[in-house]
Amino acid sequence: MAFIVGEDGRSRLVDPYGRGISYLRVSVTDRCDFRCHYCMSEDMTFLPKKDVLSLEELDRLCSAFVRLGTRKIRLTGGEPLVRKGVMTLIGSLARHLGSGLDELTLTTNGSQLAKHADDLARAGIRRINVSLDTLDAEKFRRITRWGEIAPVLAGIDAALEAGLAVKLNTVAVKDFNEGEIDAILRFAHARGMDLTLIETMPLGEIGGDRVDQYLPLSRVRTDLETRFTLADIDHRSGGPARYVRVEETGGRLGFITPMTHNFCESCNRVRLTCTGTLYMCLGQNDAADLRKVLRESDGDEAIDRAIEAAIDRKPKGHDFVIERSGAGPSILRHMSTTGG
Protein backbone atom coordinates (compact mmCIF):
# COMPACT_ATOMS: atom_id res chain seq x y z
CA MET A 1 0.00 0.00 0.00
CA ALA A 2 1.94 3.01 -1.23
CA PHE A 3 -0.57 5.77 -0.55
CA ILE A 4 -1.89 6.65 2.91
CA VAL A 5 -3.42 9.66 4.58
CA GLY A 6 -1.53 10.49 7.77
CA GLU A 7 -2.90 11.59 11.16
CA ASP A 8 -2.24 15.20 10.14
CA GLY A 9 -4.67 14.74 7.25
CA ARG A 10 -1.88 15.03 4.68
CA SER A 11 -1.40 12.30 2.13
CA ARG A 12 1.82 10.36 1.98
CA LEU A 13 3.51 7.82 -0.24
CA VAL A 14 5.09 5.04 1.81
CA ASP A 15 7.44 2.44 0.37
CA PRO A 16 7.64 -1.26 1.34
CA TYR A 17 10.27 -0.45 3.99
CA GLY A 18 8.04 2.09 5.73
CA ARG A 19 9.93 5.12 4.39
CA GLY A 20 7.75 8.14 3.60
CA ILE A 21 8.51 9.31 0.05
CA SER A 22 8.10 13.06 0.16
CA TYR A 23 10.89 14.33 -2.08
CA LEU A 24 10.92 14.34 -5.88
CA ARG A 25 13.97 15.27 -7.90
CA VAL A 26 13.25 16.11 -11.51
CA SER A 27 15.82 16.22 -14.26
CA VAL A 28 14.19 18.74 -16.61
CA THR A 29 16.79 18.22 -19.35
CA ASP A 30 19.73 15.90 -19.94
CA ARG A 31 21.55 18.72 -21.77
CA CYS A 32 24.24 20.85 -20.23
CA ASP A 33 26.55 23.68 -21.21
CA PHE A 34 29.42 22.02 -19.27
CA ARG A 35 30.95 18.54 -19.46
CA CYS A 36 32.26 17.95 -15.94
CA HIS A 37 34.76 15.09 -16.01
CA TYR A 38 33.06 13.02 -13.30
CA CYS A 39 29.60 13.49 -14.85
CA MET A 40 29.80 13.25 -18.65
CA SER A 41 32.12 12.31 -21.43
CA GLU A 42 33.15 15.06 -23.82
CA ASP A 43 31.15 13.64 -26.73
CA MET A 44 27.90 13.00 -24.85
CA THR A 45 24.96 12.09 -27.03
CA PHE A 46 21.83 13.84 -25.82
CA LEU A 47 18.28 12.61 -26.11
CA PRO A 48 16.21 13.40 -29.19
CA LYS A 49 13.73 16.20 -28.40
CA LYS A 50 10.69 14.00 -29.14
CA ASP A 51 11.60 11.74 -26.22
CA VAL A 52 11.73 14.63 -23.78
CA LEU A 53 8.58 15.59 -21.87
CA SER A 54 7.08 18.97 -22.71
CA LEU A 55 6.90 21.57 -19.93
CA GLU A 56 3.16 20.83 -19.62
CA GLU A 57 3.85 17.10 -19.26
CA LEU A 58 6.52 17.75 -16.62
CA ASP A 59 4.05 19.95 -14.79
CA ARG A 60 1.36 17.27 -14.93
CA LEU A 61 3.65 14.61 -13.50
CA CYS A 62 5.04 16.88 -10.77
CA SER A 63 1.50 17.90 -9.85
CA ALA A 64 0.52 14.23 -9.53
CA PHE A 65 3.36 13.75 -7.06
CA VAL A 66 2.23 16.78 -5.06
CA ARG A 67 -1.31 15.34 -5.01
CA LEU A 68 0.16 12.12 -3.60
CA GLY A 69 2.02 13.87 -0.81
CA THR A 70 5.32 15.12 -2.24
CA ARG A 71 6.46 18.05 -0.07
CA LYS A 72 9.66 18.98 -1.82
CA ILE A 73 10.58 19.19 -5.52
CA ARG A 74 14.10 19.84 -6.72
CA LEU A 75 14.63 20.69 -10.37
CA THR A 76 17.94 19.57 -11.71
CA GLY A 77 19.42 18.15 -14.91
CA GLY A 78 21.62 18.30 -16.96
CA GLU A 79 21.60 22.01 -16.38
CA PRO A 80 18.02 23.02 -15.50
CA LEU A 81 18.53 26.67 -16.46
CA VAL A 82 19.45 25.78 -20.06
CA ARG A 83 16.03 24.18 -20.62
CA LYS A 84 13.98 26.58 -22.74
CA GLY A 85 10.95 27.81 -20.82
CA VAL A 86 12.14 26.46 -17.48
CA MET A 87 11.05 29.68 -15.75
CA THR A 88 7.50 29.05 -17.00
CA LEU A 89 7.61 25.58 -15.45
CA ILE A 90 8.95 26.99 -12.18
CA GLY A 91 6.27 29.69 -12.14
CA SER A 92 3.61 27.08 -12.73
CA LEU A 93 4.86 24.58 -10.11
CA ALA A 94 5.07 27.41 -7.58
CA ARG A 95 1.24 27.39 -7.44
CA HIS A 96 1.54 24.30 -5.22
CA LEU A 97 3.68 26.08 -2.63
CA GLY A 98 1.72 26.30 0.59
CA SER A 99 -0.93 23.92 -0.70
CA GLY A 100 0.80 20.57 -0.48
CA LEU A 101 4.28 21.55 -1.54
CA ASP A 102 6.59 22.96 1.15
CA GLU A 103 9.58 23.65 -1.04
CA LEU A 104 10.47 24.14 -4.70
CA THR A 105 14.18 24.38 -5.31
CA LEU A 106 16.87 23.72 -7.87
CA THR A 107 20.44 22.56 -8.35
CA THR A 108 22.38 24.50 -10.96
CA ASN A 109 25.89 24.88 -12.26
CA GLY A 110 25.33 28.63 -11.97
CA SER A 111 26.29 29.54 -15.55
CA GLN A 112 22.88 31.13 -16.28
CA LEU A 113 22.05 32.10 -12.72
CA ALA A 114 22.79 35.83 -12.90
CA LYS A 115 19.97 36.42 -15.38
CA HIS A 116 17.43 34.25 -13.53
CA ALA A 117 18.15 34.91 -9.84
CA ASP A 118 15.55 37.67 -9.35
CA ASP A 119 12.85 35.71 -11.17
CA LEU A 120 13.59 32.61 -9.12
CA ALA A 121 13.18 34.56 -5.89
CA ARG A 122 9.99 36.20 -7.21
CA ALA A 123 8.58 32.78 -8.12
CA GLY A 124 8.84 31.66 -4.49
CA ILE A 125 12.13 29.77 -4.55
CA ARG A 126 13.92 30.28 -1.26
CA ARG A 127 17.03 28.09 -1.49
CA ILE A 128 19.18 26.81 -4.33
CA ASN A 129 22.24 24.61 -4.65
CA VAL A 130 25.08 25.75 -6.86
CA SER A 131 27.82 23.33 -7.88
CA LEU A 132 31.36 24.65 -7.69
CA ASP A 133 34.42 22.38 -7.54
CA THR A 134 37.19 24.96 -7.62
CA LEU A 135 37.74 28.72 -7.28
CA ASP A 136 40.52 28.76 -9.85
CA ALA A 137 39.49 29.85 -13.36
CA GLU A 138 41.94 27.56 -15.16
CA LYS A 139 41.03 24.52 -13.04
CA PHE A 140 37.35 25.34 -13.52
CA ARG A 141 37.87 25.20 -17.28
CA ARG A 142 39.64 21.87 -16.86
CA ILE A 143 37.03 20.11 -14.68
CA THR A 144 34.08 21.40 -16.77
CA ARG A 145 36.09 20.88 -20.00
CA TRP A 146 35.36 24.46 -21.20
CA GLY A 147 33.29 26.31 -18.59
CA GLU A 148 34.04 29.87 -17.47
CA ILE A 149 34.02 30.55 -13.75
CA ALA A 150 33.23 34.30 -13.88
CA PRO A 151 29.51 33.94 -14.81
CA VAL A 152 29.13 31.30 -12.09
CA LEU A 153 30.59 33.60 -9.43
CA ALA A 154 28.41 36.44 -10.74
CA GLY A 155 25.42 34.10 -10.55
CA ILE A 156 26.16 33.25 -6.93
CA ASP A 157 26.40 36.97 -6.09
CA ALA A 158 23.13 37.67 -7.91
CA ALA A 159 21.36 34.85 -6.08
CA LEU A 160 22.56 36.11 -2.69
CA GLU A 161 21.52 39.64 -3.60
CA ALA A 162 18.09 38.37 -4.61
CA GLY A 163 17.75 36.95 -1.10
CA LEU A 164 18.12 33.29 -2.02
CA ALA A 165 19.87 30.99 0.44
CA VAL A 166 22.69 29.38 -1.53
CA LYS A 167 24.38 26.10 -0.71
CA LEU A 168 27.53 25.20 -2.58
CA ASN A 169 28.04 21.60 -3.71
CA THR A 170 31.61 20.51 -4.27
CA VAL A 171 32.48 17.08 -5.62
CA ALA A 172 35.72 15.91 -3.99
CA VAL A 173 38.00 14.85 -6.83
CA LYS A 174 41.32 13.19 -6.13
CA ASP A 175 44.41 15.12 -7.25
CA PHE A 176 42.16 17.98 -8.35
CA ASN A 177 40.61 19.91 -5.46
CA GLU A 178 41.98 18.08 -2.40
CA GLY A 179 44.17 21.07 -1.60
CA GLU A 180 41.44 23.61 -2.22
CA ILE A 181 38.75 22.52 0.22
CA ASP A 182 39.87 25.05 2.87
CA ALA A 183 39.61 27.91 0.38
CA ILE A 184 36.17 26.82 -0.87
CA LEU A 185 35.00 26.42 2.74
CA ARG A 186 36.16 29.92 3.66
CA PHE A 187 34.67 31.36 0.44
CA ALA A 188 31.27 29.79 1.21
CA HIS A 189 31.14 30.61 4.89
CA ALA A 190 32.31 34.20 4.41
CA ARG A 191 29.19 34.70 2.26
CA GLY A 192 26.83 32.91 4.63
CA MET A 193 26.54 29.86 2.37
CA ASP A 194 26.57 26.24 3.53
CA LEU A 195 29.02 23.96 1.75
CA THR A 196 28.39 20.29 1.01
CA LEU A 197 31.13 17.94 -0.13
CA ILE A 198 30.12 14.99 -2.32
CA GLU A 199 31.93 11.74 -3.10
CA THR A 200 32.08 10.80 -6.79
CA MET A 201 29.59 8.08 -7.62
CA PRO A 202 30.06 5.50 -10.39
CA LEU A 203 27.28 6.66 -12.73
CA GLY A 204 27.56 6.52 -16.51
CA GLU A 205 30.45 6.12 -18.92
CA ILE A 206 32.66 9.21 -18.63
CA GLY A 207 35.59 8.35 -20.84
CA GLY A 208 37.98 7.96 -17.92
CA ASP A 209 38.79 5.84 -14.91
CA ARG A 210 36.71 6.47 -11.79
CA VAL A 211 39.40 5.11 -9.48
CA ASP A 212 41.46 8.10 -10.60
CA GLN A 213 38.77 10.48 -9.30
CA TYR A 214 37.49 8.83 -6.15
CA LEU A 215 38.46 10.62 -2.96
CA PRO A 216 36.85 9.25 0.21
CA LEU A 217 35.39 12.05 2.31
CA SER A 218 36.53 10.27 5.46
CA ARG A 219 40.05 11.25 4.33
CA VAL A 220 39.01 14.84 3.57
CA ARG A 221 37.38 15.15 6.98
CA THR A 222 40.42 13.79 8.82
CA ASP A 223 42.58 16.26 6.95
CA LEU A 224 40.24 19.20 7.67
CA GLU A 225 40.27 18.27 11.35
CA THR A 226 43.97 19.03 11.54
CA ARG A 227 43.11 22.70 10.88
CA PHE A 228 39.44 23.17 11.80
CA THR A 229 37.23 22.20 14.72
CA LEU A 230 34.28 20.25 13.32
CA ALA A 231 31.34 19.66 15.64
CA ASP A 232 28.60 17.22 14.54
CA ILE A 233 25.19 18.90 14.44
CA ASP A 234 21.65 17.64 13.85
CA HIS A 235 20.91 20.04 10.98
CA ARG A 236 19.21 18.28 8.02
CA SER A 237 18.52 19.84 4.65
CA GLY A 238 16.06 17.16 3.56
CA GLY A 239 18.84 15.27 1.78
CA PRO A 240 21.45 12.69 2.71
CA ALA A 241 24.12 15.15 3.90
CA ARG A 242 25.42 14.89 7.47
CA TYR A 243 26.45 18.29 8.82
CA VAL A 244 29.10 19.71 11.10
CA ARG A 245 29.57 23.25 12.39
CA VAL A 246 33.02 24.63 11.61
CA GLU A 247 33.94 26.56 14.73
CA GLU A 248 36.57 28.76 13.08
CA THR A 249 34.16 30.06 10.40
CA GLY A 250 30.82 29.61 12.17
CA GLY A 251 29.40 28.00 9.00
CA ARG A 252 27.92 24.60 8.20
CA LEU A 253 29.71 21.89 6.26
CA GLY A 254 27.88 18.82 4.92
CA PHE A 255 29.23 15.48 3.80
CA ILE A 256 27.42 13.29 1.26
CA THR A 257 29.10 9.92 1.45
CA PRO A 258 27.25 7.35 -0.65
CA MET A 259 30.43 5.30 -1.01
CA THR A 260 31.89 5.27 2.50
CA HIS A 261 28.62 5.51 4.40
CA ASN A 262 25.39 4.14 3.08
CA PHE A 263 22.44 6.44 3.79
CA CYS A 264 19.69 4.35 2.17
CA GLU A 265 17.82 3.57 5.39
CA SER A 266 16.52 7.13 5.60
CA CYS A 267 15.92 7.63 1.84
CA ASN A 268 12.82 9.76 1.22
CA ARG A 269 13.18 10.45 -2.49
CA VAL A 270 12.59 9.28 -6.03
CA ARG A 271 13.89 10.67 -9.30
CA LEU A 272 12.08 11.58 -12.50
CA THR A 273 14.01 11.96 -15.74
CA CYS A 274 13.13 14.40 -18.52
CA THR A 275 11.68 11.47 -20.48
CA GLY A 276 9.27 10.63 -17.68
CA THR A 277 11.14 7.61 -16.37
CA LEU A 278 10.87 7.28 -12.62
CA TYR A 279 13.87 5.82 -10.84
CA MET A 280 13.08 4.68 -7.35
CA CYS A 281 16.79 4.54 -6.47
CA LEU A 282 19.77 6.45 -7.89
CA GLY A 283 21.88 3.31 -7.62
CA GLN A 284 19.53 0.70 -9.12
CA ASN A 285 18.21 0.12 -12.63
CA ASP A 286 14.53 -0.61 -11.94
CA ALA A 287 12.32 2.19 -13.28
CA ALA A 288 8.73 3.02 -14.19
CA ASP A 289 7.77 4.53 -17.55
CA LEU A 290 5.41 7.34 -16.54
CA ARG A 291 5.56 8.99 -19.99
CA LYS A 292 3.69 6.06 -21.51
CA VAL A 293 0.95 6.31 -18.87
CA LEU A 294 0.86 10.09 -19.22
CA ARG A 295 0.57 10.03 -23.02
CA GLU A 296 -1.98 7.21 -23.07
CA SER A 297 -4.37 8.53 -20.43
CA ASP A 298 -6.52 11.65 -20.21
CA GLY A 299 -7.34 11.65 -16.51
CA ASP A 300 -5.10 11.69 -13.47
CA GLU A 301 -6.21 8.34 -12.07
CA ALA A 302 -3.88 6.16 -14.19
CA ILE A 303 -0.89 8.40 -13.41
CA ASP A 304 -1.55 8.26 -9.68
CA ARG A 305 -1.87 4.46 -9.75
CA ALA A 306 1.35 4.13 -11.80
CA ILE A 307 3.25 6.27 -9.28
CA GLU A 308 1.91 4.25 -6.36
CA ALA A 309 2.85 0.98 -8.08
CA ALA A 310 6.37 2.31 -8.65
CA ILE A 311 6.79 3.34 -5.00
CA ASP A 312 5.73 -0.17 -4.03
CA ARG A 313 8.85 -1.38 -5.87
CA LYS A 314 11.34 1.03 -4.24
CA PRO A 315 14.40 -1.06 -3.37
CA LYS A 316 16.03 -1.14 0.02
CA GLY A 317 19.25 0.48 -1.17
CA HIS A 318 21.99 0.90 -3.75
CA ASP A 319 25.00 -1.35 -4.38
CA PHE A 320 27.61 1.17 -5.52
CA VAL A 321 31.17 -0.11 -5.68
CA ILE A 322 34.19 1.48 -7.28
CA GLU A 323 36.38 -1.45 -8.15
CA ARG A 324 39.92 -1.28 -9.26
CA SER A 325 39.40 -3.96 -11.93
CA GLY A 326 38.01 -2.17 -14.99
CA ALA A 327 36.58 0.70 -12.96
CA GLY A 328 33.68 1.11 -15.37
CA PRO A 329 30.39 2.53 -14.17
CA SER A 330 28.28 0.33 -11.90
CA ILE A 331 25.18 2.10 -13.27
CA LEU A 332 25.20 2.90 -16.97
CA ARG A 333 23.03 6.02 -16.93
CA HIS A 334 24.68 9.36 -16.19
CA MET A 335 24.06 11.59 -13.20
CA SER A 336 22.71 14.14 -15.69
CA THR A 337 19.95 11.65 -16.58
CA THR A 338 18.74 11.16 -13.04
CA GLY A 339 19.84 14.57 -11.85
CA GLY A 340 22.07 13.72 -8.90
Sites of contact with ligand SAM (CB under 6 A): 32, 38-39, 76-77, 79, 107-109, 131, 169, 171, 198, 200-201, 203, 335-336, 339-340
**Of residues 24, 32, 158, 307, which one binds ligand SF4 by CB under 6 A?**
32
Farthest-apart Cα atoms in the chain, separation = 60
Whole-angstrom CA distances from 278 to 142, 292, 313, 320 are: 33, 11, 11, 19
Question: How far apart (Å, rounded) are the C-alpha atoms in residues 90 and 81?
Answer: 10
E strand residue ranges, the chain: 3-5, 11-14, 20-21, 23-27, 72-76, 103-108, 127-131, 165-172, 194-199, 230-232, 242-246, 252-256, 269-272, 277-279, 287-289
E strand residue ranges, 132-224: 165-172, 194-199
Site map for ligand SF4, 117-156, x if CB under 6 A?
Answer: --------------x-------------------------
Site map for ligand SF4, 199-238, x if CB under 6 A?
Answer: ----------------------------------------
| Cβ pair 172, 143 in contact under 8 A | no
Q: Is 114 left (phi over 0), alpha (psi -120 to 50) or beta?
A: alpha
Closest CB 80 distance from ligand SAM, rounded Å: 6
For residues 15 and 79, which CB has a smaller minimum distance to ligand SAM in the complex? 79
The reply to whether 267 sits near ligand SF4 by the rule CB under 6 A is: no
For residues 23 and 34, which CB has a smaller minimum distance to ligand SF4 in the complex? 34
The reply to whether 35 sits near ligand SF4 by the rule CB under 6 A is: yes
Q: Is 85 left (phi over 0), alpha (psi -120 to 50) or beta?
A: left
Q: Which does 198 bind (CB under 5 to 8 A by kind): ligand SAM, ligand SF4, none?
A: ligand SAM
Site map for ligand SF4, 78-117, x if CB under 6 A?
Answer: xx-----------------------------x--------
Question: How far apart (Å, rounded) are the C-alpha atoms in residues 278 and 38?
Answer: 23
Closest CB 247 distance from ligand SF4, rounded Å: 31
Binding site for ligand SF4 (CB under 6 A): 32, 34-36, 39-40, 77-79, 109, 131, 336
